[in-house]
Amino acid sequence: MNKYALVVAGGRGSRMGAEIPKQFLLLKGLPVLMHTLKAFRSIDDIHLILVLPEDQIMYWNQLCTKHDFSLPHQIVAGGETRFQSVKNGLQSISDSEALVAIHDGVRPLVSIDIIKESYKLAQQVGNALTIIPLKDSIRMQTDKGSVSVNRSDYFLVQTPQTFRLSEIKTAYENAPELNTFTDDASVIEAIGAEIHLVQGDYKNIKITTPEDLLFAEALLKN
């Protein structure tokens, strides 16, 4: 069964406080997004699809030339929302039966083990959602104040989120485009799918702030 990786990068860099989108900021001398694509291409049989805002594609091509980045990948123009961008990426895949991992472009430190396990579980049961346990105590806001809740009942969600292609395509084609969809598993869950979990990694961070970039630099140095 063919494997695809749909890397979605639509950030504008507002929380980073940078002039360029966060996926293009340098991490150990290369744009963040190049590290992310390289992580997936370390598995030979994965077809890479990069979804970018249309107005960023030319800049990305310029970066590839500047950094001599020749890793094979297909580029698809995204939409106004992440939902539409993922949908555009899925529609670009013509295979009827395949596996597709949907991944944040600004998670460059994803491990090969997580990627492999995600594809393996999705092939077996239909989907795989990468999660990590909470480290900190948490509280829930109520009408009467806040209450302590059991952190072992909750997880932090990461990517990749991997699916049988036909099933996630059906979910995106039939689900309404609502702001309540915060990730891809929520979309397929909305049409009745049971979600299956894969253990993630605390190093698989999403780079959204300057502190995240410093942390990623430190992890790569080690």
CATH number at 39 reads 3.90.550.10
Q: What is the pLDDT of residues 77-112, one digit of tens each?
A: 999 999 999 999 999 999 989 999 999 999 999 999
The residues with which 75 forms a beta bridge, in sequence order, are: 50
Q: What is the pTM of this model?
A: 0.94
Q: What is the pLDDT of residues 180-221, one digit of tens each?
A: 788 999 999 998 999 999 999 999 999 999 999 999 999 998
> Residue 13: pLDDT above 60?
no
Nearest to 48 by CA among 57, 56, 39: 39
Boundaries of domain holding 100 = 2-221
Sheet of 74-77, strands arranged across: 74-77, 46-52, 2-8, 98-104, 155-164, 127-133, 197-199
Between CA 14 and CA 207 the distance in angstroms is 12
Sequence-ordered list of residues with C-beta below 8 angstroms from that of 83, at least 6 positions apart, any chain: 172, 177, 181, 187
The residues with which 52 forms a beta bridge, in sequence order, are: 77
> Residue 178: pLDDT above 80?
no
How many domains does the chain fold into? 1
State the SS3 of the chain. Answer: CEEEEEEECCCCCCCCCCCCCHHHCEECCEEHHHHHHHHHHCCCCEEEEEEECHHHHHHHHHHHHHCCCCCCCEEEECCCCHHHHHHHHHHCCCCCCEEEEEEECCCCCCCHHHHHHHHHHHHHHCEEEEEEECCCCEEEEECCEEEEECHHHCEEEEEEEEEEHHHHHHHHHHCCCCCCCCCHHHHHHCCCCCCCEEECCCCCCCCCCHHHHHHHHHHHHC
Between CA 88 and CA 187 the distance in angstroms is 15
- Mean pLDDT confidence for 150-154: 92
